[in-house]
Amino acid sequence: MQEYERKQLLERVEREGATVGADIPETITVQDEEIDLRTFVFEIKRRETVPAGERDRVERAKRNLRRERTDRLERIETGEITREEGEELARSIIGIDRALNALEGLGPTDLEREQQAQQAADTKRWMSFLKKALGRADDASTRRGR
């Protein structure tokens, strides 16, 4: 592969929005183990939250996918590969990125924290409303005017 072709592939992989329209690979081999990646991602995303028992599995999958992405990127950067091999590596990296984006959007603890924060804010607004409605606002000027 020529140097300019290698640079084009690297630029395509790192381009903002490279995953738009990209498909998650059906299967992928990570550390000599074949994974049904698309099925795994859709199975996890189908749930509203990731159950506690599955969180470790999802985090482990994300770590392994990041490692595999780095390995494939290094093969493009430094390896003696053909243009066709480079194209296939670039497609697979973009597919891995797509899967990682889908899995990263699953912040189960963030959802729980967000729900708790929303409940706390609702409670605070309700208490503020009740104080005002009952004439118990903490503003001293409001009390003096009455």
Residue 131 and residue 138 in contact, taking contact as beta carbons nearer than 8 Å = yes
How far is CA 139 from its chain centroid? 45
Confidence of residue 47 (pLDDT cuts 50, 70, 90): confident
With pLDDT > 90 as the criterion, what percentage of the chain qualifies? 19
All structural domains of the chain with their residue ranges: 3-106, 108-146
The answer for residues whose C-beta is within 8 angstroms of residue 28's C-beta and 6 or more apart is 34, 35, 37, 68, 92, 95, 96
Angle at 79 between CA 75 and CA 80, to 5 degrees: 135
Does the predicted TM-score (pTM) go above 0.75? no
Helix axes 3-14, 83-104, angle to 10 degrees: 10
Residue 138 has pLDDT above 60, yes or no: no
Which position has the higher pLDDT, 51 or 99? 99
